[in-house]
Amino acid sequence: MLRSEEFVDMAPAEIYAVLLDRGVYLCSEATMYRILRRNGEVRERRRQATHPPRKKPEPVAEAPNRVWSWDITKLKGPVKGSYYCLYTIIDIYSRYTTGWMLAAFENKELAEQFLSATIAEYGIEQGQLTIHSDRGSPMVAENVAQMMSNLGITKSHSRPKTSNDNPYSESQYKTLKYRHDFPDRFGCVEDARAWCERFFDWYNLEHRHSGIAMHTPFDVHFGLAEQLREMRADVLAGVYAKHPERFVRKAPEPPKLPAAAWINKPGEPRPDDPTIPAQG
């Protein structure tokens, strides 16, 4: 009776009461618990579905326009409960924001239009690009997946409840919301759009990013970074020639651009990776 379809989800106290209402007494509530304990079924009697661990996403980019990460964040509107949705796409190699859009809400149709327009703007060829995202409803929508398939785009998704699988978008949103002039609320959508315009101009054109050897995303994305690194090297070489005593170990040189950018670098799992067994 305890395993029956009718009672499998009920606690013994509830089963006991239902049976009594029908004029039926099989045993006490305590006996029901004793039977369940004997069979190891005190916690759950329904057969449980098991899911194998999802594969860790490992897209890698060795040049711009190879892997993009996209996400949606909310910006507070003028009154409590109102907000605007900021859609963004960031190139993980260059950190360049290839596209952004502010909308009153998030849905799969807007997501498809936003992504397809950005892909078209950069002349992406079949098989060239992977687009990574978390598992929000617009990200896993069928129309978005179909659009990417039609354009030859590879899609990649974070594992459930694993925010670090989408680190580039998360990091950019943190930079955005910790800017000195980021307001607690925006007065209207036009205010929010104007602020975002200023932010993304600064982020792409002026922000020296530590992950790309202190270059701007624009310089890396459009192939100017190596020339600028050579200019930096010339300056440092001139200083070293005049004052070698100021450099104890070796001649100074500017940092090099990383050869590649990863989401979950292969062979280097993070300590918070849910697929890693706990120690101790």
Q: Would you place residue 278 in the very low, low, confident or very high pLDDT band (cuts 50, 70, 90)?
A: very low
- Please say whether the beta carbons of 177 and 185 come within 8 A: no
C-alpha 241: how far from chain center: 46
**Percent above pLDDT 70 for the chain:** 91
- Full-model pTM: 0.76
Looking at residues 42-69, what average pLDDT do you find? 78
Closest listed residue to residue 79, CA positions, set 190, 194, 176, 184: 184
Task: Provide the pLDDT for residue 277.
Answer: 38
Q: Out of 28-32, 52-56, 240-244, give the one with best mean pLDDT.
A: 240-244
Residue 51 is predicted with a pLDDT of 56
Q: Determine the pLDDT at residue 50.
A: 58
**Locate tokens 């974070």: which residue?**
158
- Please give the Cα distance from 164 to 50 (Å, whole number): 24
Domain ranges of the chain: 1-46, 60-212
Q: What is the mean pLDDT of residues 226-255?
A: 92
User: What's the Cα-to-Cα distance from 211 to each of 17, 26, 261, rounded to whole Å?
Assistant: 64, 69, 9
Residue 8 pLDDT? 82
Domain 60-212 has what CATH class? alpha beta
Backbone angles phi, psi at 33, to 5 degrees: -65, -40
Cα dihedral across residues 138, 139, 145, 149: positive or negative: positive
Torsion-angle region of residue 140: left (phi > 0), alpha (psi -120 to 50) or beta? alpha
| Per-residue pLDDT tens digits for 170-202 | 999 999 999 999 999 999 999 999 999 999 999
Mean pLDDT score across all residues of the chain: 88
The yes-or-no verdict on residue 49 having pLDDT over 90 is: no
> Using one digit for the tens of pLDDT, what is the confidence trace for 105-143?
999 999 999 999 999 999 999 999 999 999 899 999 999
Cross-strand partners of 83: 76
Runs of H (alpha helix) within 158-266: 167-177, 189-205, 217-221, 225-242
